Amino acid sequence: MKLYLDRCRRFLRRCEPDLLSETIIPAAEFARTAEPVRWEERETLEYRPIDVGGDWGEAWDSAWFRLKAQLPESWKDRPVALQLNLSGESLIFDADGLPLCATTGNSLFNTHYTKEFFQVPESLRRGGAVDLWIEAAANSIFGVYMDEEPHRLIEKPAGYFPGKVKVMRIGLFNTELWHLRIELELLLNYYDTLPENDYRRRRLLAAMNETVNLYADDPANAAKAREPLAKMLALPALASALKVSAVGHAHIDTGWLWPVRETVRKCARTFANQLDMMDKYPGYVFGASQPQHYAFVKEHYPKLYEKIKQRVAEGRWELQGGMWVEADCNLISGESMVRQFLHGKNFYMDEFGFDVKNLWIPDVFGYSAALPQIIRKSGCDFFLTQKISWNQFNRFPHNTFFWEGIDGSEVLTHFPPEDTYNAFVVPEELVAAQNRFKESDLLDEFISLFGIGDGGGGPKEEHIERALLLGNMEGMPKVSFGRADKFFERLAASDAVRNRKLCRWVGELYLEMHRGTLTTQSRTKRNNRKLEQLLAATEFLCSMAPRADYPAEELDKAWKTLLINQFHDIIPGSSIRKVYEVTEKEHAALFELCERLIRRAGEAVTVPEADALTLVNTVSTPYTNVIDLPAGWEDCEVIDSEGNAVEVQGLRALGTVPASGVAVWKRGKKLSPQVLENGSLILENTLIRYEFDARGELVRAFDKETGRETLRPGENGNVFNLYVDRPNTFEAWDVDVFYDQEQRTGAELVSHSKVAAGPVESTMSFEWKIGEASLIRQKVRLAVNSKRLDFVTEVDWHESRRMLRVNFPVAVQTSEAAFEIQYGYAKRPTHGNTSWDMAKFEVVGHRYVDFSASNYGAALLTDCKYGYRTNQGNLDLCLLRSPKYPDWEADQGRQVFTYAYLPHTGSLTESNVWSEAVQLNRAPILLPGRAAKVAAPFSVSGGSVSLEVVKKAEKSDDLVIRLVETAGSATAATLRTTLSGVKLVETNLIEWEELGSFEFRGDAVELEFKPFEIRTFKVR
């Protein structure tokens, strides 16, 4: 049997060249460019001839080609195809600039990702002539050639790609042979799914062998040779076979192994292909997510965009996914998650009049337990992913289930059992999926996302033909084209859902893989955190100014720029250098924009006064920490709004700014500096005493208030460890469980300063050498009124495949730690009792992670770090990594960050951990030389409710405020306003629905909150 099976497989390969006959080579010319040139500018370029075998570019180059051919008269009304392989990706245009179809010359990962044939319609053959314009890119669907585990001596770490004309010919297309090859390949695949002694194998092999016999090495016999295959394909599926809703799909990474500028063109290529498929296959349905991609096409390919809008209106093109991009769901803030939905859903509604009801993020690296509430309050009911199938240690137990978040919100969730969003519509995938589908005892249907993805492309003709063949085929589930939204509607109406027969998963969907993405590309992560805070602060200040002056358009663009860089391969750190070169420029521009908007709004809400300083606290906890004063205020007398003296030490001051409030400080006479130096290694105030040793390590943290030692006896804190960091695969993505078994080195102290103590704080500085060529410089600060010990850190980082961590061995006995997540916190085990616990050896936290017993605890706060390890009673923070793939330069150079150690009395929710973490991450806005003339519009008091957002509404001149319960407790809070004659109208997160109204009594209104509840109000 093997002999005949090999014969069939060899035949399949051997007959491929027969697809085209009577071929001619078109006349071709090209113009090479370093950057993409738009259609309107193509004829301004200099062109020269090129033939098959000719070179036209190198990695990331672009080129415009023009192909001309006069077709033989005998070809009229016969199928004609262009076979084109320019090595990279190409987009074919008609004479009017409408993209028609894309070809893909090669794939770095999968040969099935190529597409060479474009069947030339009669409309492009007027007068027997073909005249086509082609935009080519010197990169494959997965970027350029790069070593996934590059050696340190590699010559071209950024990769290479030869742009070469490999195939360029036009000929008569043998449609019968094309169908024969699809059918034979499908049955060969089906053959491989059957047990070795299954009788159907013998029947299949006999039919396939007969096909080879009938073909007789003559393409003219293709139609006759299909007959034995047709008999096998006509055998019907079992009555009990499951149903498959097959959704044409093309996952397009907004940035990954290619820059975002290339994604613009990937969208055009992909969408042109799918419109072409719809013309050929009337029943075919395609869906694509990410409104940002549609915005790209609208701007750069308006004619293509109009065709998409037409297909959307017809119902054959499905808009998917409520987020602006398929964003990372570990690292971005709660407000960023809200804005992803806000801008995503508004775009779909504004452009298409369509309300998307699903969150569609099949390739994101884990899903926060805060998401279900945000999904539901953004007007979505369903969630789709498959990434958890990548788990290293534990098989996730469900495909269709209710997912419950930290507040109790539920979202109906489906994981396609094919475990891919790039399905090929082949028996081996579908049979495995049918058997793998966990809820097959309750449900008779699952979804399949088929087509070429990651780098885009979508389904080819072959995918669609296979789906048609598998509609009712023996041994297979029953495949039919469909929309995801209709699938979810059927699912929601099923008995299993209505009668709550499906299982429930509570808490985060933790991906047991890609843990390194919590740290890689630290600059991008830091800038994102700072901008999330800065944009919210900017909106708060702008909301104090006259409504007519609100910079809505500028802030809209700013948020969308931040959101695109939260894509799940950009902010996690798994993209190439070209991506981060752009991201860093865009982040820098956002910082400048916010500074400009703050100055403008600041002038509108203040009056000039030379010796005044207005401080605007945009967070809903009083700011009681040290504030950096502006230039010219060094060692000056400072008086606050209440007439009290503010302690000053150089340019550092210690005063209080009310929660969500404004203070005006006045500068007085110059004072003598009050800083004393001593040679000890002790930082101390009335609350706590910290002692360091000659290595710069923290050897004692004694809480004077309680008389407790907060570090374990005999162990030191602030200990740096440098680990060899060589995961098995996916360098930028992964930290493997064995990393702490590899070589570990510490830091060597180079120098330290004397302790400088004054009325505001005590400080000292350390400098260490670590690794091959890196330096750590740290200023340690302790304010006179706080137990919080800040480590303000700068690292000159020049390591290769190393990971830098810092550890604090905490003397708090607890079996679980609390990690801040988006708009709340989640608890995770501090042990590895089960395989599920062990798998969480590296987990995400935002501004704090806390170890608390019933009456005492200790926390680690950060201003931009996310990766923690909390097993064995340690607060262990990942600071830096240095992978070499896919970005050879990842994280090299200067890095700055602050982390803080904070012992506290009481449990987490009884402590000041949240307040201190908030203050560490967002200091008051300073407006020097200005005195405030208006008050902040809103403040909240009572309970554990935070005023997170004050901004202008998206679609009206109302203000919008967002309040969040942060402690996981049912509570009441009082909202106060300085505005007169206003009321609250509650709305959902995207500001579409009105859910009730509340009247102020005087300046206050009482509001009730459920645990971790997010509530949004318009103020009218």
SS (H, E, C) 434-484: HHHCCCCCCCCEEEEEECECEECCECCHHHHHHHHHHHHCCCCCEEEECCH
What letter does residue 27 receive in the DSSP assignment? E
Nearest of 918, 924, 975, 920 to residue 658 by alpha carbon: 924
Answer yes or no: are the C-beta atoms of 412 and 451 closer than 8 Å: no
Alpha-carbon Rg for the chain in angstroms: 31
What pLDDT digit, counting tens, does each position of 325-353 carry? Answer: 999 999 999 999 999 999 999 999 999 99
Locate the DSSP E strands across 58-96. 62-70, 80-85, 89-93
Residue 403 scores a pLDDT above 70: yes
What letter does residue 272 receive in the DSSP assignment? H
Give the SS3 label for residue 287.
strand
Residue 109 is predicted with a pLDDT of: 52
Nearest of 285, 263, 730 to residue 453 by alpha carbon: 263
Task: Tell how many helices (H) and how many strands (E) occur in the chain.
Answer: 19, 58
The two tokens of residue 731 are 């360098």
Give residue for tokens 């452009």: 351
Residue 35 scores a pLDDT above 80: yes
Nearest of 237, 247, 239 to residue 488 by alpha carbon: 247
Nearest of 326, 922, 321 to residue 627 by alpha carbon: 922
905: how many CB neighbours lie within 10 A of its CB? 16
Q: What is the pTM of this model?
A: 0.97
The two tokens of residue 724 are 């060899």
Question: Angle between the 175-193 and 2-14 helix axes, to the nearest 10 degrees?
Answer: 150
Nearest of 560, 624, 459 to residue 101 by alpha carbon: 459
Rounded distance between C-alpha atoms, residue 940 and residue 659, angstroms: 8
Rounded distance between C-alpha atoms, residue 898 and residue 921, angstroms: 9
Strand partners, 903: 858
* Torsion sign over Cα 911, 917, 918, 919: positive
Helix, strand, coil shares, percent, the chain, to 5: 30, 35, 40
Nearest of 583, 603, 584 to residue 595 by alpha carbon: 603
Backbone angles phi, psi at 557, to 5 degrees: -65, -40
Q: What mean pLDDT do residues 12-37 have? A: 96
Residue 427 is predicted with a pLDDT of: 98
Residue 164 is predicted with a pLDDT of: 96
Rounded distance between C-alpha atoms, residue 694 and residue 569, angstroms: 42
C-alpha distances (whole Å) from 933 to each of 604, 605, 666 are: 9, 6, 15
Residue 110 is predicted with a pLDDT of: 60
The two tokens of residue 217 are 């090495």
Residue 701 is predicted with a pLDDT of: 98
Q: What mean pLDDT do residues 9-35 have? A: 96
Element (H, E) at 254: none
Judging by DSSP bridges, how do beta strands 243-249 and 445-450 pair with one another?
Answer: parallel
Residue 111 scores a pLDDT above 80: no
Q: What mean pLDDT do residues 406-411 have? A: 98
**379 in the Ramachandran plot: left (φ > 0), alpha (ψ -120 to 50) or beta?**
left
Answer yes or no: are the C-beta atoms of 342 and 335 closer than 8 Å: no
pLDDT band at 220, cuts 50/70/90?
very high
Rounded distance between C-alpha atoms, residue 903 and residue 933, angstroms: 39
Say what percent of the chain tops pLDDT 90.
Answer: 97
* Torsion sign over Cα 539, 541, 547, 549: negative
Judging by DSSP bridges, how do beta strands 478-481 and 243-249 pair with one another?
Answer: parallel
Backbone angles phi, psi at 542, to 5 degrees: -65, -25
C-alpha distances (whole Å) from 337 to each of 111, 658, 901 are: 37, 28, 28
Nearest of 458, 432, 396, 439 to residue 190 by alpha carbon: 432
The two tokens of residue 413 are 């969730």
Rounded distance between C-alpha atoms, residue 614 and residue 606, angstroms: 8
Answer yes or no: are the C-beta atoms of 395 and 371 closer than 8 Å: no
- What one-letter code names the amino acid at 824? G
Residue 209 scores a pLDDT above 80: yes
Give residue for tokens 């415009």: 64
What pLDDT digit, counting tens, does each position of 680-723 carry? Answer: 999 999 999 999 999 999 999 999 999 999 999 999 999 999 99
Residue 107 is predicted with a pLDDT of: 54
808 CB-side CA count, 13 A: 28
Strand partners, 66: 29, 133
DSSP letters spanning 613-657: EEEE--SSS-B-SEEEPPTT-TTEEEE-TTSPEEEEETTEEE--B
What pLDDT digit, counting tens, does each position of 711-756 carry? Answer: 999 999 999 999 999 999 999 999 999 999 988 999 999 999 999 9
DSSP letters spanning 886-930: S-TTTT-EEEEEEEEEEEEES-TTTSSHHHHHHHHH-PPEEEEEE
Rounded distance between C-alpha atoms, residue 254 and residue 745, angstroms: 38
CA 520 to chain centre: 13
- Residue of 253, 328, 363, 863 marked active site: 363
Q: What mean pLDDT do residues 959-987 have? A: 97
What letter does residue 354 receive in the DSSP assignment? -
Determine the longest span between alpha carbons in the chain, in angstroms.
103
The contacts of residue 633 (CB under 8 Å, 6+ apart) are 613, 648, 651, 653, 667, 928
Cα angle for residues 584, 533, 385 (degrees, 5° grid) = 75
Give the SS3 label for residue 157.
coil
pLDDT band at 156, cuts 50/70/90?
confident
What pLDDT digit, counting tens, does each position of 618-677 carry? Answer: 999 999 999 999 999 999 999 999 999 999 999 999 999 999 999 999 999 999 998 999
Rounded distance between C-alpha atoms, residue 519 and residue 532, angstroms: 18
Cα angle for residues 133, 136, 139 (degrees, 5° grid) = 170
Rounded distance between C-alpha atoms, residue 446 and residue 609, angstroms: 67
What pLDDT digit, counting tens, does each position of 87-97 carry? Answer: 999 999 999 99
Question: Is 693 a catalytic site residue?
Answer: no
Q: What mean pLDDT do residues 536-553 have? A: 97
Residue 872 is predicted with a pLDDT of: 82
Element (H, E) at 944: none
Q: Cis before residue 903, ω within 30 degrees of 0?
A: no
Rounded distance between C-alpha atoms, residue 936 and residue 603, angstroms: 15
The contacts of residue 494 (CB under 8 Å, 6+ apart) are 442, 443
Nearest of 424, 445, 1 to residue 186 by alpha carbon: 424
Residue 196 scores a pLDDT above 70: yes
Mark out the alpha helices in 103-235 (DSSP H runs): 175-193, 199-215, 222-225, 227-233
Residue 126 is predicted with a pLDDT of: 86
779: how many CB neighbours lie within 10 A of its CB? 16
**Mean of the per-residue pLDDT values for the chain?**
97
877 CB-side CA count, 13 A: 28
Answer yes or no: are the C-beta atoms of 533 and 503 closer than 8 Å: no
The two tokens of residue 879 are 């600071």
Answer yes or no: are the C-beta atoms of 117 and 83 closer than 8 Å: yes
* Torsion sign over Cα 798, 802, 808, 809: negative
Rounded distance between C-alpha atoms, residue 590 and residue 531, angstroms: 8
